[in-house]
Amino acid sequence: MGDDSVAYVAFDTAKLHHTVAIAEEGRTGEIRFLGEIENSEAAAVKLVKKLEQRYRRLMFCYEAGPTGYELHRLIERLGHECMVVAPSLIPKKAGDRVKTNRRDALSLARLLRAGELTAVWVPDTRHEAMRDLTRAREAAVADLVSKRQQVLSLLLRLGRHYEGKRHWTRMHMTWLLSQKLEHAEQRIAFEEMLLAVREAQGRVARLEQAIRTALPDWSLAEVVTALMAMRGFDLVSASAFLAEIGDLSRFATARELMGYLGLVPSEQSTGETTRRAGITKAGNRRARRILVECSWSYRHPPRLGKEKLAKVEAAPRAVREIAWKAQHRLTGRYRALTRNGKKPTVVVTAIARELSGFIWAIDRAARVAPMTR
């Protein structure tokens, strides 16, 4: 071990190779390029062991991206700190128009030493597996929507449209199966499209069942049960939301959660001038989309249907009280903003922001209250 005490090591990660830079301790400490290593566990271990011989303490970082969290977990197992950095929050010079792997690694090392980087929350392997499952279901739903649209587009080109109120109901499927197309080529294409729709529906159903099966063994299972007491959330949406957000206890206040979800207004103020614009849209876009979709249900008066009642009764009493309070508060808020002439999309975004505050409170209540039925 050498005389130097602390070193800050940054990776610019990629599919095949990682670019590595290091910054030594102190404002005048040397910042230098170390080269490239293979994207493999053996290469990373070799680099860490080599640096351990010279420095008493090592701190590592790299940007969150497609390479995932395995490098973080490896370095943590080796006994060193590693930060996975939020890419959108990395300080950048406005006039810097040159971007290379080497420059990125050197910049990350410098910023890590200065304490200017913001870390993302790193899930454990079980949580990441649950996130992958919910994202697979989301991709399957998008695929189903696309295949359904192909069927409707084909019929529309042929001058045929369904006169019922809703598509893809039982009556609509009966109507689709009754269609007689003139040419054999079109009949083949139509039947193949319907088959693709049925296969996509089966895929969505299997993934939803997999989520139900996996939920009891998940660390956030109790929070999912509590969240289902809220209007707009079912098992799938609650699981997907928590899979994206993770442990809500890391947010000290509800406002922190709102900011993380990107639901707070952006602002550009200078001098005596204050300008506020739309929401920042920072953070996890999937979680924000789920929250906005659930918020549309608060345009209806407060009530508990037969199916929802069973979900509410499965939650602790404190959670039930928060959920019922949220129904009254958010429904009234929706009507008040609508009366003021706000656009529906703006209103629902405001509802989503307040809904995230109730979710934060429910998470707190679910962790301290016993689960009673």
- CATH number for position 51: 3.30.420.10
Q: How many domains does the chain divide into? A: 3
Q: Are residues 208 and 248 in the same domain?
A: no
Between CA 336 and CA 324 the distance in angstroms is 19
Is 119 within a domain? no
Domain boundary residue among 183, 199, 215? Answer: 215
**pLDDT category, 3, cuts 50, 70, 90?**
low
Q: Are residues 231 and 264 in the same domain?
A: yes
Q: Are residues 185 and 228 in the same domain?
A: no
Q: Are residues 225 and 333 in the same domain?
A: yes
pLDDT of residue 368: 81
Is 161 within a domain? yes
Domain boundary residue among 172, 193, 215? Answer: 215
Average pLDDT, the chain: 93
Domain boundary residue among 69, 95, 114? Answer: 114
In this structure, of 1-15, 105-119, 316-330, 335-349, the range with the lowest mean pLDDT score is 1-15
Q: Are residues 278 and 191 in the same domain?
A: no
Q: Are residues 79 and 159 in the same domain?
A: no
Is 260 within a domain? yes
Is 149 within a domain? yes
Contact 86, 64 (CB under 8 A): yes
**pLDDT category, 198, cuts 50, 70, 90?**
very high
Overall average pLDDT of the 320-340 stretch: 96
pLDDT of residue 22: 97
Overall average pLDDT of the 66-94 stretch: 94
Is 1 within a domain? no
Q: Are residues 139 and 43 in the same domain?
A: no
Q: What's the number of CA atoms in the CB half-sphere (13 Å) around residue 174?
A: 6
**pLDDT category, 95, cuts 50, 70, 90?**
confident
Contact 173, 198 (CB under 8 A): no
Q: Are residues 229 and 280 in the same domain?
A: yes
pTM of this structure? 0.90
Overall average pLDDT of the 89-116 stretch: 93
**pLDDT category, 344, cuts 50, 70, 90?**
very high
Overall average pLDDT of the 129-149 stretch: 97
Percent with pLDDT over 90 in the chain: 87
- The secondary element (H helix, E strand) that includes residue 18 is strand 17-24
Listed residue (137, 59, 54, 63) closest to 104, CA to CA: 63
pLDDT over 50 at 1, yes or no = no
What domain range includes position 105? 6-114
pLDDT of residue 26: 87
**pLDDT category, 142, cuts 50, 70, 90?**
very high
Is 227 within a domain? yes
Listed residue (176, 61, 172) closest to 110, CA to CA: 61
Q: Are residues 229 and 200 in the same domain?
A: no
Q: Are residues 69 and 41 in the same domain?
A: yes
pLDDT of residue 213: 97
Q: Are residues 138 and 211 in the same domain?
A: yes
**pLDDT category, 256, cuts 50, 70, 90?**
very high
Overall average pLDDT of the 178-196 stretch: 95
Overall average pLDDT of the 89-97 stretch: 88
Q: Are residues 133 and 107 in the same domain?
A: no
pLDDT of residue 367: 82
**pLDDT category, 4, cuts 50, 70, 90?**
low
